[in-house]
Copies of this chain bind each other. A is one copy, B any other.
Amino acid sequence: MKSTKKNRPLILVTNDDGITAPGITVLIEIMKELGDVVVVAPDKPQSGMGHAITINSTLRINKSNIHSVKAEYSCSGTPVDCVKIAVNKILHRKPDLCVSGINHGSNYSINVIYSGTMSAAVEGALESIPSIGFSLCDHALEADFGPSRFYVRQIAERILKDGLPEGVCLNVNIPDIPSEEIKGIKVCRQTKANWIEELDERIDPSGKQYFWLTGRFDNFEKGEKGTDVWALDNKYISIVPVQFDLTSYASIPKLKKLEK
């Protein structure tokens, strides 16, 4: 971190739980120690929005003053919309860091693909901004973000200093345990897993059927070292480098027969 005001890093903060969520407040507090902070975050919860963008309806932003930062806006759109609007309408230069979270709830394993928190970080990476999504493995509103603080700051400082490989952002998950029990950090791969959906079927007051999407996490790699779930189960913070090139390069030669 540079010491003079002029050279303070510019940090974009967003999330998917909405601008009033306790998790983003903690993240903003930490980032204010590291640089000038601009917040552009959803005006309502946007969990599970994945990489959705708003193209069939309009977008609005409103100035906000919750967190005493350089600039702050709530946005009617998704977490990815927030990053797009920040980069193209609000910020006068490319930020030095984009951080998303701290999410109330884990984004390990396949959850990364559904996560608004992580999609905002992926969008940051698409804009060539070093980007990190932070998630705490406790989805309660009153989750204790205390133990996260030291590590969130440490990781953000390192990335501000060293940058990230091209086309990559970080998916950081923090176990829901007291600070003194956290053993350190593990750089991991995404655990192979899926959700076994349990669509909770109900009847509304007019007698019509509706569903709540719910489910059970099914880990196909239980106890497998090197996976993010293993790291979290063993009291480590997990970091998975996430890429937006979705090409399965290994499959290209196998599929060449489709050209015939």
Q: Which residues of A contact B (CB under 8 A)?
A: 45, 47-56, 58-61, 77-78, 80-81, 84-85, 87-89, 110, 112-114, 119, 122, 126-127, 155, 158, 162, 164-165, 167-168, 170, 184-190, 192, 194, 197-199, 201-202, 208-213, 239-252, 254-259
**Which residues on the B side are within 8 Å of A113 (C-beta)?**
51, 122, 244, 246
**Which residues on the B side are within 8 Å of A239 (C-beta)?**
255, 258
Q: Tell me, in angstroms, the Cα distance from A227 to B104 when the chains sit together.
A: 38
Q: Are A199 and B85 in contact (CB under 8 A)?
A: yes
Q: Tell me, in angstroms, the Cα distance from A251 to B174 when the chains sit together.
A: 20
Q: Are B243 and A211 in contact (CB under 8 A)?
A: no
How many copies are assembled?
Answer: 2
CB A190 to nearest CB in B, in angstroms, measures 5
Q: Tell me, in angstroms, the Cα distance from A155 to B258 when the chains sit together.
A: 7
Q: Are B47 and A199 in contact (CB under 8 A)?
A: no
Known A158-B258, A212-B59; judge A251-B241 contact (CB<8 A).
Answer: yes
**Which residues on the B side are within 8 Å of A80 (C-beta)?**
50, 114
Known A112-B246, A210-B58, A246-B112; judge A252-B189 contact (CB<8 A).
Answer: yes
**Which residues on the B side are within 8 Å of A241 (C-beta)?**
247-248, 251-252, 255
- 8 residue pairs of the A-B complex, CB under 8 angstroms, read A45-B56, A51-B51, A58-B202, A110-B244, A126-B194, A167-B248, A187-B255, A241-B255
CB A31 to nearest CB in B, in angstroms, measures 18
CB A193 to nearest CB in B, in angstroms, measures 10
Q: Are A245 and B192 in contact (CB under 8 A)?
A: yes
Q: Are A84 and B242 in contact (CB under 8 A)?
A: no
Choose among B164, B201, B213, B247 the residue that contacts A81 (Cβ–Cβ < 8 A). Answer: B213
Known A56-B45, A258-B239; judge A213-B50 contact (CB<8 A).
Answer: no
Q: Tell me, in angstroms, the Cα distance from A93 to B81 when the chains sit together.
A: 38
Choose among B89, B188, B248 the residue that contacts A168 (Cβ–Cβ < 8 A). Answer: B248
Q: Are B189 and A84 in contact (CB under 8 A)?
A: no
